[in-house]
Each structure stands twice: as C-alpha cells, then as structure tokens.
Chains A and B, each alone.
Chain A
Amino acid sequence: KAGVTQTPRYLIKTRGQQVTLSCSPISGHRSVSWYQQTPGQGLQFLFEYFSETQRNKGNFPGRFSGRQFSNSRSEMNVSTLELGDSALYLCASRGINTEAFFGQGTRLTVV
C-alpha cells in the first residue's frame, strides 16, 4: 500500500511569487491535513480537508489556501511568497479512526 506522496520534495522560489504543493493521500483516506514546520518550531496546523471540504483551519493568513479533489488528492497554494514562508510543509492523511500518516514533506525556500 503506497504511503503519502508529496511533490515536489524541494522548491526554491523568489519573494512575491506563488507556489502550489501537491499531496496524494493513502488510498482510501479522505482526510488530508497540511502543516508548516520552521526550524526549531513545532508543527503549525494550516488546514484540513475532508471529502473536498475544508473541515478545520489554523491561524494562517489568506495567502495560504488549499483544496481537495474528488480523488482525495490535495493541493496547497501560497501566494505572494515572503521570506518567512521558507519551511518544511508536511501533509498527513487519515482514514476513519486512524492515526495521521505523513508524507516526506516539501522543503520550500524563499529567496
């Protein structure tokens, strides 16, 4: 059974650009959550999608948005990138009453 797949693994963007990250959950999982992790910081919750609907949202500005498709794959978009957006972005998928399984993450560097 394939795990959670995030693409790309590494990304370098310049300030002001926008970026889209992708996450394919474990087959059968309908919940996908996104997290931001900066050096020395814990995981900061961005949002969770379940069956194409945003179910929970963290305290991030509107520049951070996401969506989920009918096949449960999810994308996260960050517009007008800032230097402080440099981080490891992690995606986790969950089935009913299961633990969260994480992908390897996308390392975003904003220069």
Chain B
Amino acid sequence: KNQVEQSPQSLIILEGKNCTLQCNYTVSPFSNLRWYKQDTGRGPVSLTIMTFSENTKSNGRYTATLDADTKQSSLHITASQLSDSASYICVVSADSNYQLIWGAGTKLIIKP
C-alpha cells in the first residue's frame, strides 16, 4: 500500500534554532517527492521537488534530502523565523497513476 509517514507530528522550537523534519514513504514506483508549507487556513505552497537521482536540494533556509534506497526524506530548516510556523507536508508522486500521496504533515511552531 502506498503510504507516506511524517515525524514528528508536531514540533516547538525557539526562533533562530535549526530543526529537521522526517518523511518515510512506501510508494512504488517512485516518481518524485515534494515538500509543501501550509500556513493555517491556506492552501499548501511548494518548497522543493526532488526526483530519484537528487540527494539534496536547497531553497533559501530550507534544505531537503532524499535517500531513495531507504525511502526517506528530510527537510532541514536553518535559523528558524517566526514566519516558519506552519505545517510541513511531504508528498510523493507515484509514477503509475499520477496520484499524489500525502503525509499527515508536521506542525511546526516557532516561539520568540
């Protein structure tokens, strides 16, 4: 069964600190993996997209990694800001049917 699991479910850190969010998937055949940021009450916005051959991709203070062998991805946020408070969702695309398999997300709260 195609599944995407994220951890932790929620995370509270102080402003300026770094954090890492995890995503494990069992989607096959794998097409690509995306990380989305969703502010409360709004639609998700894409942060990064990674294909099978990519190990690391950065977008400003966000760095995503992908290990296609272990089927794990992480999103590292550096020097967190209050505006980083949001849900971060890992989404895996299956090659076979165009469907996106969504993780439940990690709710990140940045405290001043």
Contacts and interface: CB of A to CB of B under 8 A. Distances in A.
A37 to B, nearest CB: 9
B103 A90 contact: no
Interface residues of A, number: 23
A78 B104 CA distance: 23
Contacts of A35: 102
B58 interface: no
Interface residues of B, number: 18
Contacts, number: 47
Contacts of A107: 41
Interface of A: 4, 31, 33, 35, 41-43, 45, 48, 50, 55-56, 88, 90, 92, 99-105, 107
Given A4-B43, A88-B41, 10 more contacts: A31-B98, A42-B105, A43-B89, A43-B102, A45-B99, A90-B43, A99-B46, A101-B46, A105-B42, A105-B43
